[in-house]
Structure 1
């Protein structure tokens, strides 16, 4: 799942080396939280106007997680 997030984010940003994903352990509800870290200059590219790109990233990752019967959340830091 983290490779999917990195691949999507690297396609959006200019500083591809700064893209990093950290994973939290599942919480009591079984939700795995993925934290996407990008360079400060690329934050707007990943979030998009009114958060549309961020919402699209979360939708794609959730769809992939549903196939694997997992619950995930993506946070952009």
Structure 2
């Protein structure tokens, strides 16, 4: 999961070396925190949040069989 978010975000931003992804697991919940450079924040979120929503959908699909709930947080 962590590698998936790093890959997708790396293709979207101008500064892929400044991507930071942290993974936190608690029971059935998985939280992924994504940090990018300030000037790349809009590229990761997308117009009306469409890119962020798409990334969340991919995460949910990747864990569909595990019974875990995922949450992607894009941190400024």
TM-score normalised over the length of structure 2: 0.91
Deviation at residue 41 of structure 1 after TM alignment: 0.3
Q: Which runs of 4+ in 1 moved over 3 A?
A: none
Deviation at residue 70 of structure 1 after TM alignment: 2.4
| 2:71 paired residue number | 73
Q: Secondary structure at the match of 2:73?
A: strand
Structure 1 unaligned blocks of 5 or more: none
Structure 2 unaligned blocks of 5 or more: none
Provide the alpha-carbon RMSD of the alignment.
1.2
1:44 maps onto 2:42 in alignment = yes
Q: Secondary structure at the match of 1:61?
A: helix
Q: Secondary structure at the match of 1:14?
A: coil
Deviation at residue 39 of structure 1 after TM alignment: 0.4
| 1:6 paired residue number | 6
More strand by share: 2
| 1:59 paired residue number | 57
Task: Identify which range, 7-16 or 58-67, moves more after superposition.
Answer: 58-67
Aligned residues: 75
* Cα distance in 2 for residues equivalent to 1:67 and 1:14: 34
Q: Secondary structure at the match of 1:25?
A: strand
